[in-house]
């Protein structure tokens, strides 16, 4: 008996204590919202701290009262070994972007042609931070995921909880919490917090961060969330990615709801109807840019009508209903220390200006591409010259022009080397390009191929970055791509930057990728002209690597979007004896590219659908997913090829066209019946 008494759990907390904890959580969350989102605190910092400490004390004595939405969880959790990769609720696409007004006009024209009603646009500043997906279930933050490759990202929930402007629980005073909500936002560091933070790093003799964005991105990927908590991050929410248990028809409605749920949102959001209004907004934002305490790099223009967005759809990279109208890049002047040559994975020699480091819009730049020998000649840049450089977002900085210095004696004009700096093979000229023809023996090309093979959209091998690839080639541990699969952890442990754990992780990571999706494998081979989209289309069409390998040019061209130029490039690559052997070697190591899942064969498969008007029982995006899941396609315009036109409430001109073409027109009930026939229940 005595033993049992000793082991018995502490008595359950009293109901009064549980109530006190709940009230404290709610009060603290409210005051945190008032302070960080609305900037109008109602209590002093000391009073807040007193309430906070009381809640901490309760949770210490009765840990079962600790909940995920407790403000005490914002201080950070125990460090982790690694982040889990998590699939996004909805793919996080990128944005099509341009600095040109003409591109904006083309975008607007395209939308005007495709849509039944003239577009209305929601304008927002383009925030220059790190994008994040926040998922709420039953109103409570359950997950936060980095953008990653757009499909999957890293689960960084503990870190995101430390950001005071992220609601741990949605506010429900004005609007009930939906059952499930996924929100996209941008984690940012304010410029002032960034400067303070960098100052501290410099004082401690550590390398400062290049920009607030890099620092914010670094902070959300800290394994120890207590460090994240110290970086003074903010998070702006701007997009509802998914909502269950509520419906929005416009982005403006969704944006208002985000505010009511307690999110911090970008200011200066406007609804406009014309390109002129967008251009004026852009000019105002650019003029005010330097007065803001956070970095923006343009304006995001989004179609407000959410059903119309679904109609327009997306490419694999960006939605067709939005674009970023960016600011002109910031320019600075510096000096070229010398022009070096870099050799890429395709053997192209690129002249690179090594610069006296200079800050351009908060980022330190020390190299800039000069593209090719003709470009160097045209700009007449030589060692030691003064130059104007520019940086546009993530794009590699460029030398814009040389600045004349009449009184200074200049170096000799630049000449491309006669031999490859990496392998000494005599180089060849191909138009403006200079190429090292030593495809399989040049270490610089092999290094580039390794990095590409392991990159996110290819085999996605964690830990195979530039430096590791360079080491593997330099130490001759890898002489061709296939050698990657033979690596053993004990060959890596002693390399600089490696320890037992990282060596084992890399080797395991590589081995696991022997079962790789066909589209990733194809992309990873680095076939000229084959980007992510073409690789995916080839995989969907041919369904096996052997089928692609033996496809004639004609067969390749039967794939939508592949023309003679591409098919020739693909055949040439696959037929080159060196490539064929290198690929055989990879396959002999047990690499098995897996075909994409076959779409369900149903009455809908291969059928083209067009939607017009609003649906009652399901959103347009859900309808689209159901059709696509059953092998059908949703297209935006009506033609003789359309199989079904689904007309909801208040259909537009597509309906009239469908009548004129005598197409199959379904009302909502008819559409649901068709789905039901295909075994799809809309619950």
Q: Does 319 bind ligand IVH (CB under 6 A)?
A: yes
Q: Does 127 bind ligand IVH (CB under 6 A)?
A: yes
* Nearer residue to ligand IVH within complex by CB, 97 or 619: 97
Q: Does 323 bind ligand IVH (CB under 6 A)?
A: no
DSSP letters spanning 338-386: EEEEEE-TT-BEEEEEEEEEEEETTEEEEEEE--SHHHHHHHT--TT-E
Shortest Å, Cβ 625 to ligand IVH:
17
DSSP 528: T
Site string for ligand IVH, 271-310 (x = CB under 6 A): -----------------------------x----------
Q: Does 448 bind ligand IVH (CB under 6 A)?
A: no
Q: Which stretch binds ligand IVH (CB under 6 A): 120-128, 160-168, 331-339, 477-485?
A: 120-128
Q: Does 151 bind ligand IVH (CB under 6 A)?
A: no
Spatial CA neighbour of 464 closest among 425, 418, 497: 497
* Nearer residue to ligand IVH within complex by CB, 261 or 671: 261
* Nearer residue to ligand IVH within complex by CB, 95 or 659: 95
Phi, psi (degrees; rounded to nearest 5) at 122: -100, 125
Sequence-distant (≥ 6) Cβ neighbours of residue 657 within 8 angstroms: 638
Spatial CA neighbour of 535 closest among 316, 369, 253: 316
When binding is defined by CB under 6 A, the residue of 67, 72, 80, 94 that contacts ligand IVH is 94
When binding is defined by CB under 6 A, the residue of 95, 227, 423, 470 that contacts ligand IVH is 95
Q: Does 124 bind ligand IVH (CB under 6 A)?
A: yes
Q: In whole angstroms, give the CA distance from residue 475 to residue 490.
A: 14
Shortest Å, Cβ 430 to ligand IVH:
33
When binding is defined by CB under 6 A, the residue of 148, 212, 262, 266 that contacts ligand IVH is 266
Is-contact 243 227, C-beta < 8 A?
Answer: no
Q: Does 574 bind ligand IVH (CB under 6 A)?
A: no
Asked if 565 is an active-site residue, the reply is: no
Catalytic option among 126, 302, 447, 654: 126
When binding is defined by CB under 6 A, the residue of 238, 294, 485, 611 that contacts ligand IVH is 238
When binding is defined by CB under 6 A, the residue of 32, 70, 131, 438 that contacts ligand IVH is 131
Residue 54, SS3?
helix
Let me know the angle formed at the C-alpha of 458 by 454 and 461, rounded to the nearest 5 degrees.
Answer: 35
Q: CA dihedral in degrees (128, 177, 271, 189; nearest 10)? A: -20
Element (H, E) at 319: none
* Nearer residue to ligand IVH within complex by CB, 209 or 294: 294
* Nearer residue to ligand IVH within complex by CB, 316 or 491: 316
Q: In whole angstroms, give the CA distance from residue 621 to residue 318.
A: 16
Q: In whole angstroms, give the CA distance from residue 594 to residue 518.
A: 5
Site for ligand IVH in 44-63 (CB under 6 A): none
Site for ligand IVH in 621-650 (CB under 6 A): none
Residue least distant from ligand IVH (Cβ):
131
Q: Does 316 bind ligand IVH (CB under 6 A)?
A: no
Q: In whole angstroms, give the CA distance from residue 415 to residue 382.
A: 9
Q: Does 255 bind ligand IVH (CB under 6 A)?
A: no
Question: Which residues in 502-533 are b (16+ Cβ under 10 Å) and which e?
Answer: bbbbbbebbeebeebbbbbbbbbbbbeebebe
Element (H, E) at 679: none
Q: Does 186 bind ligand IVH (CB under 6 A)?
A: yes
When binding is defined by CB under 6 A, the residue of 243, 324, 446, 522 that contacts ligand IVH is 324
**Catalytic (active-site) positions:** 126
Site for ligand IVH, rule CB under 6 A:
93-95, 97, 124, 126-127, 131, 186, 238-239, 266, 300, 319, 322, 324
């Amino acid at each position: 008996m005595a033993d049992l008494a000793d082991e018995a759990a502490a008595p359950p907390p009293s109901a009064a204590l549980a109530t006190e904890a709940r009230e404290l959580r709610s009060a603290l969350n409210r005051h945190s919202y008032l302070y960080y989102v609305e900037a109008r605190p109602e209590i002093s910092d000391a009073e807040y701290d007193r309430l906070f400490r009381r809640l901490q004390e309760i949770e210490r004595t009765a840990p079962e009262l600790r909940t995920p939405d407790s403000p005490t969880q914002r201080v950070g959790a125990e460090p982790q070994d690694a982040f889990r990769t998590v699939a996004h609720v909805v793919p996080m696409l990128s944005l099509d972007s341009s600095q040109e007004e003409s591109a904006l006009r083309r975008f607007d024209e395209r939308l005007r042609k495709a849509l039944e009603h003239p577009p209305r646009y929601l304008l927002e500043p383009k925030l220059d931070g790190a994008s994040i997906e926040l998922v709420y279930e039953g109103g409570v933050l359950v997950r936060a995921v980095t953008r990653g490759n757009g499909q999957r990202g890293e689960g960084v929930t503990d870190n995101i909880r430390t950001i005071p402007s992220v609601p741990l629980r949605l506010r429900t005073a004005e609007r009930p919490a939906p059952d499930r909500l996924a929100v996209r936002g941008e984690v940012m560091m304010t410029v002032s917090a960034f400067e303070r933070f960098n100052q501290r790093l410099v004082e401690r003799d550590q390398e400062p961060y290049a920009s607030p964005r890099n620092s914010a991105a670094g902070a959300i990927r800290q394994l120890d969330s207590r460090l994240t908590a110290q970086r003074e991050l903010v998070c702006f929410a701007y997009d509802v990615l998914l909502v269950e248990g509520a419906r929005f028809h416009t982005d403006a409605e969704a944006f208002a709801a985000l505010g009511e749920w307690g999110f911090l949102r970008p200011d200066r959001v406007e609804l406009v109807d014309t390109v002129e209004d967008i251009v004026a907004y852009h000019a105002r934002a650019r003029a005010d840019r330097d007065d803001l305490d956070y970095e923006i790099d343009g304006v995001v223009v989004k179609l407000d009508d959410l059903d119309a967005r679904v109609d327009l759809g997306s490419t694999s990279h960006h939605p067709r209903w939005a674009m970023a109208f960016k600011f002109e890049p910031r320019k600075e002047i510096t000096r070229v220390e010398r022009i070096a040559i870099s050799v890429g994975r395709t053997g192209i020699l690129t002249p690179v200006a090594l610069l006296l480091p200079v800050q351009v819009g908060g980022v330190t730049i020390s190299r800039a591409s000069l593209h090719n020998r003709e470009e160097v000649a045209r700009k007449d840049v030589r060692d030691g010259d003064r130059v104007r450089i520019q940086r546009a977002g993530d794009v590699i900085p460029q030398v814009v022009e040389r600045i004349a210095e009449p009184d200074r004696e200049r170096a000799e004009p630049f000449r491309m080397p006669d031999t490859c700096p990496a392998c000494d093979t005599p180089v060849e000229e191909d138009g403006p390009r200079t190429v090292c023809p030593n495809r399989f023996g040049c270490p610089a090309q092999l290094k580039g191929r390794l990095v590409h093979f392991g990159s996110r959209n290819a085999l996605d091998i964690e830990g195979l970055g530039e430096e590791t690839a360079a080491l593997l080639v330099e130490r001759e541990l890898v002489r061709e791509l296939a050698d990657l699969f033979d690596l053993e952890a004990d060959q890596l442990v002693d390399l600089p930057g490696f320890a037992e754990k990282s060596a084992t992780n890399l080797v395991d990571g590589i081995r696991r990728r022997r079962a790789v999706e066909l589209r990733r494998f194809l992309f990873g081979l680095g076939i000229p002209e084959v980007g992510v989209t073409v690789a995916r289309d080839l995989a969907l069409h041919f369904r096996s690597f052997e089928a692609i390998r033996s496809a004639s040019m004609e067969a390749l061209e039967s794939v939508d979007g592949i023309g003679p130029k591409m098919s020739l490039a693909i055949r040439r690559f696959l037929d080159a004896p060196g490539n064929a052997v290198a690929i055989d070697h990879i396959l002999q190591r047990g690499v098995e590219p897996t075909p994409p899942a076959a779409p369900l064969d149903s009455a809908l498969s291969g059928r083209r659908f067009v939607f017009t008007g609003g649906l009652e029982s399901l959103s347009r995006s859900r309808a689209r997913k159901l059709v696509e899941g059953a092998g059908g396609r949703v297209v935006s315009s009506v033609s003789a090829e359309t199989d079904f036109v689904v007309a909801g409430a208040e259909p537009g001109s597509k309906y009239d066209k469908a009548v004129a073409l005598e197409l199959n027109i379904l009302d909502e009930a008819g559409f649901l019946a068709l789905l039901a026939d295909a075994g799809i229940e809309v619950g």
